[in-house]
Amino acid sequence: MAGNPFPLGKEELLQAYRTMRTIREFEERLHVDFARGDIPGFVHLYAGEEAAAAGIMMHLSAGDRIASTHRGHGHCIAKGVDPCEMMKEIYGKKGGSCHGKGGSMHIADLGRGMMGANGILGAGAPLVCGAALAAKFRNKGEVAISFVGDGASNQGTFLESLNLAAVWNLPAIFVVENNGYAESTSRDYAVAVDSYVDRAAGFGLPGVTVDGTDFFAVHEAAGEIIKRAREGGGPALLECKMIRFHGHFEGDAQAYRGKGELEDIRANKDCVKKFAAKVTGAGVLTQAELASIDKEVLSLIERAVQEAKAASQPTAADLLTDVYVTY
């Protein structure tokens, strides 16, 4: 058997694959169930972008904090939030991550360092400055990571946060998940610089751009940035160029996409397929090992859906809990 050319051991590679496959299956199942009318509200799917969440989050532990976006399911799963609780949350049921009060856009699990998906674009960046500030006071080498899309990278909150993190030398990392579209508007139309490395430089931050569909590229770049932040080296920006398989939200007809674009990205730019080809091609993992994880994941997601459907609805009494209401 050939040697392992990857910086990760076999178990870690299996874990990376399991994370990406769990996200993919979770999202593809939501795509189907949403179209069937099973799910209330808005849903924004992370399918196609799994390598970024998995590659970055493998470097984190529960004491490290992240703030996510409206497209947050992948970040949650990669950060260790229970997919069954997430599914219940998305169905608005009791036993959900937020007891059915948050929904898809607000899944949070602070005990696992997940400060919340967020319905307000760019709002997580200042919060992450605060999480990083708290980490700095605690002095245990923890970091905080803010995810934004290319759209929210134009928000004042994001730009102000880059400056604040630099001025205070915070262990904060800003990940721009550049999937080329802010809702329906192309990145190239709405962002004045070609490279986020230039934008970072404007705020005195180091910046790195990686192919976000390449798990190993993300993992390596994130590892260096996170290590530097843990050691007091301060904030940085990481741009992951990635691919969004679905529309902005479920139900988006995506007429703004180019001819053949969706077929091309599924066939040629699928980050999970690319990962599988690499690890099996190098002879480190076998098709059978991956197939076994596929099966395990399918069964987990099926269980999550069945549990979510069977879970009880919140009651009128739940309306008035978790906020002081007497006035």
Partner 1 sequence: MTRKISMKDAINEALDQEMARDPSVICMGEDIVGGAGAPGERDAWGGVLGVTKGLYAKHGDRLMDTPLSESAYIGAAIGAACCGMRPVAELMFIDFMGVCFDQIYNQAAKFKYMFGGKAETPVVIRAMVGAGFRAAAQHSQMLTPLFTHIPGLKVVCPSNPYDTKGLLIQSIRDNDPVIFCEHKNLYGLEGEVPEAPYAIPFGEANVVRAGKSCSIVTYGMMVHRSTDAAAILAKEGIECEVIDLRTLSPLDMDTVIESVGKTGRLVCVDEANPRCSIAADISAQVAQKAFGALKAQIEMVTAPHTPVPFSPVLEDLYIPSATQVADAVRRVMKGGRH
Binding site for partner 1 (CB under 8 A): 65, 67, 96-102, 106, 108-111, 115-116, 118-120, 123, 125-131, 133-135, 137-138, 144, 156-157, 160-161, 163-164, 167-168, 321-327
CA–CA gap between residue 325 and residue 144 (Å, rounded) = 32
- Alpha-helix residue ranges (DSSP H) falling in the chain: 10-35, 50-57, 73-78, 83-90, 124-138, 156-167, 187-190, 196-202, 215-230, 261-268, 271-281, 287-310
CA–CA gap between residue 229 and residue 220 (Å, rounded) = 14
- Rounded to a whole number of angstroms, the minimum distance from the CB of residue 157 to partner 1 is 5
Read off the DSSP letter of residue 191: -
For partner 1, give the closer residue by CB, 43 or 128: 128
Contact 148, 125 (CB under 8 A): yes
For partner 1, give the closer residue by CB, 108 or 308: 108
For partner 1, give the closer residue by CB, 29 or 99: 99
First-to-last C-alpha distance (Å) of the chain: 70
- Rounded to a whole number of angstroms, the minimum distance from the CB of residue 55 to partner 1 is 24
For partner 1, give the closer residue by CB, 163 or 280: 163
- Rounded to a whole number of angstroms, the minimum distance from the CB of residue 98 to partner 1 is 4
Sequence-separated (6 or more) residues with CB below 8 Å from residue 117? 68, 69, 70, 71, 72, 73, 75, 76, 102, 104, 105, 106, 107, 108
For partner 1, give the closer residue by CB, 4 or 163: 163
CA–CA gap between residue 122 and residue 141 (Å, rounded) = 25
For partner 1, give the closer residue by CB, 110 or 193: 110
- Rounded to a whole number of angstroms, the minimum distance from the CB of residue 218 to partner 1 is 24
- Rounded to a whole number of angstroms, the minimum distance from the CB of residue 94 to partner 1 is 10
- Rounded to a whole number of angstroms, the minimum distance from the CB of residue 54 to partner 1 is 24
For partner 1, give the closer residue by CB, 115 or 279: 115
Phi, then psi, of 181 in degrees rounded to 5: -135, 130
Q: Which two tokens stand for residue 131?
A: 């999480």
- Rounded to a whole number of angstroms, the minimum distance from the CB of residue 169 to partner 1 is 12
Q: For the sheet containing 236-241, what is the strand order?
A: 65-67, 144-149, 172-178, 236-241, 207-211
For partner 1, give the closer residue by CB, 100 or 207: 100
Q: Which candidate, 185, 121, 206, 184, places its Cα nearest to that of 195?
A: 206
Q: Which amino acid is at 33?
A: D
Distance set, CA 229 to CA 52, 148, 193, 319 (Å): 18, 19, 25, 41
- Rounded to a whole number of angstroms, the minimum distance from the CB of residue 33 to partner 1 is 22
